[in-house]
Structure 1
């Protein structure tokens, strides 16, 4: 089984009513590593744009509209993408209109293949620059949230943890006294007490998430046996999987996976968190699958589920502090997981599993 990859080929939308020209471009650009989709009209292009694109090659003259106006629509629909206008009848007016429409380039047809490929690469540089700016803005937002968590930590540790511990202690004393009562009198009194105890435990776990995220402990790497770690994770969670009527399994391998450099306890925490999320998302009768392998000097692990998957609009934010799609929770679980993986020199990303559910891909450096 080879290393899982995310769809990474840049996509090009070609809008032209010349079928032969479309075919030629699809072959040329496909061989150059682009994923190409064609549209022969403005209407077809508007439908295609919903699928997303990195660069659009748009003919100025289309059977149901003007390419310049379409270019402006495409830029408005996908501001981080780029548009290149094509024409066989170049004039100064059309060049000015192309710039006003937001096009990054303007080519004469027929254009030499190398000129077209060079223009596409320049457009892709702009697309990558947009993506980098967006990522920098996201990181700045995360940094601000981290600073807020750090400021709150000292107060939370003292002002919340101490009262919680005191309340838990008193509940424990009260529970022991209630259990001395006759059996018939215990049940109606214990039910609300146990409910309060569970809620205190939940608050304590949320507080622990805050503290762990705000004050990560010192990193002390060692050699971690990936195969043994996977076995232990499955053993620990097999009971929860059975109670949910979900199958939890590890994809068998012919050869063991090499060890990675890290802290076994924390990496196990990463996998347990990812697996618990997968179990929650998977309906009864579904499957959560762990896989592992190595390629190119690194080990990869995947956690796949057969649930509904992660919506595209949530993927860019799923590792942000306090972002959650759950009705309950601190929104720090995946942020902590991401922080642990980053501290280990690894990477974590979300994708779509082969069965349509969520796939989390963890990549880690091999142990030295």
Structure 2
């Protein structure tokens, strides 16, 4: 029987139905026995009324309800029926016994058909549930497939750009070094000329900026071979947190940590490259935070993966920009190179890990880093 009602309400309804069926049967029986002096036809007519509680009991409680109610009615009615046997014709007697048999047959048959209908409904409900689960599963698989396709496209772009940038960066660094030396010599010769000295200072700063860009370029384009070792996640995080403490104090930012669950968990990684990942994520959060506020650093575990999540209270990432944040040279910072998250994505890809960034419900961004746990 399909029933989505709460247990207490279901028990109350069952009790009410049993009382109602019992009252109807009792009333009909009392009418029969208190009016036994009436004609036999009158009692036969009343006997048809017994079908109502029998059918309802069968529909409500299945075959058991139909059989028990019809059997009880038969026991209650038999004495009165026996009393009228000597006044009835053979045809009337036969009809009377047929009626008794029909009450029992109808009770069982109605209960049986009701139970079959309920079984069919249960099968339909199970099929519907399975169908919904399959739809949800297909939806999740579709989302996972889209995510994997996105990562594949990202990796392809990174590889293509890496090949191009390696040669380009190498060719640029040589003339850049010559330019830097030339500017330094010019600045020394014209040290008494304030205008030339200022121009040389600006040119040297730009040369340094280009040199840093070329260094990031080469790091991105020519990744080092991994030198893996087993190391607790807490140790990796502690070293990088200590490095950013001066910056946090300078900007009056509080770093709130909740990582006890993962500090002793070990991962097999290249410590130097993973420190680069952690430092990049923490510095991005500080840049997004601005002045004051709280940055949250928490431990994360999921399906054999362990890592951390960093949440800031900054302005967040616009939905239009979110699909491109791992693309090389895509940046929303005025002085950013756009290679930071690309390098992080490549390093995690080499380690079999993953990165995800989502906007928080109120404000800010939550970046989650996960690595295979040893």
Taking structure 1 as the reference length, what is the TM-score of the superposition?
Answer: 0.59
The question of 1:326 aligning with 2:345 is answered no
Deviation at 1:140, TM superposition (A): 4.7
Map of 2:177 onto structure 1: 165
Residues 191-202 of structure 1 mapped to structure 2, 5 A cutoff: 191-202=198-209
- CA shift at 1:200, angstroms? 1.9
Q: Secondary structure at the match of 1:301?
A: strand
Partner of 2:146: 134
1:299/1:365 contact within 8 Å kept: yes
Q: Which residue of 1 aligns with 2:273?
A: 266
Deviation at 1:225, TM superposition (A): 4.0
Q: For residue 163 of structure 1, report the CA deviation from its aligned partner.
A: 1.3
Matched, 1:149 2:161: yes
Which residue of 205, 230, 239 corresponds with 1:232? Answer: 239
**What is the DSSP-based 3-state SS (H/G/I as helix, E as strand, rest coil) of the residue aligned with 1:257?**
coil
Distance 1:310 1:280 in 2: 13
Query: Structure 2 matches for 1:285-364, cutoff 5 A?
Result: 285-292=292-299, 297-353=304-360, 356-364=363-371
Give the structure with the larger helix fraction: 2
Cα distance between partner residues in 2 of 1:328 and 1:235:
25
Change (3 A) 1:124 1:207: same
**Higher strand proportion:** 1
SS in 2 for 1:284: coil
Spell out the pairing of 1:1-368 with structure 2 (5 A cutoff): 112-135=124-147, 137-175=149-187, 189-251=196-258, 253=260, 256-292=263-299, 297-353=304-360, 356-367=363-374
In the TM superposition, residue 221 of structure 1 has moved relative to its aligned partner by 0.2
CA displacement at 1:145 relative to structure 2:
2.0
Shift of 1:340: 0.7
**Larger C-alpha radius of gyration, 1 or 2?**
2
Q: CA deviation at 1:222?
A: 0.8
Cα distance change, pair 194–235 in 1 and its aligned pair in 2 (3 A): farther
Question: Per the alignment, do residues 296 and 122 of structure 1 end up closer, same or farther by CA in structure 2, a change over 3 Å counting?
Answer: closer
RMSD, matched Cα: 3.4
Q: State the shift of 1:274 in Å.
A: 0.8
Cα distance in structure 2, aligned partners of 1:229 and 1:165: 35
Q: Which 5+ residue runs of structure 2 have no aligned equivalent? A: 7-120
1:218 Cα deviation from its structure 2 partner: 0.9
Contact 1:206–1:329 at 8 Å: present in 2 too? no
TM-score between both structures, scaled by the size of structure 2: 0.58
Q: Distance in 1 between the 2:301 and 2:146 partners?
A: 31
The count of residues paired between Structure 1 and Structure 2 equals 256
Consecutive unaligned residues in structure 1, runs of 5 or more: 1-23, 28-108
Q: Stretches of 4+ moved more than 6 A in 1?
A: none
| 2:300 and 2:309 in contact (8 A); partners too | no
TM-superposed CA distance for 1:354, in Å, is 7.5
1:252 CA displacement: 6.6
Q: Secondary structure at the match of 2:161?
A: helix
Over 3 Å counting, the alpha-carbon distance change for 1:254 and 1:134 in structure 2 is closer
CA contact (8 A) 2:345 2:355 kept: yes
How far apart are 1:268 and its partner, in Å?
0.8
Please state how far the C-alpha of 1:331 moved relative to its aligned partner.
Answer: 2.4
Secondary structure of 2:234 counterpart: helix
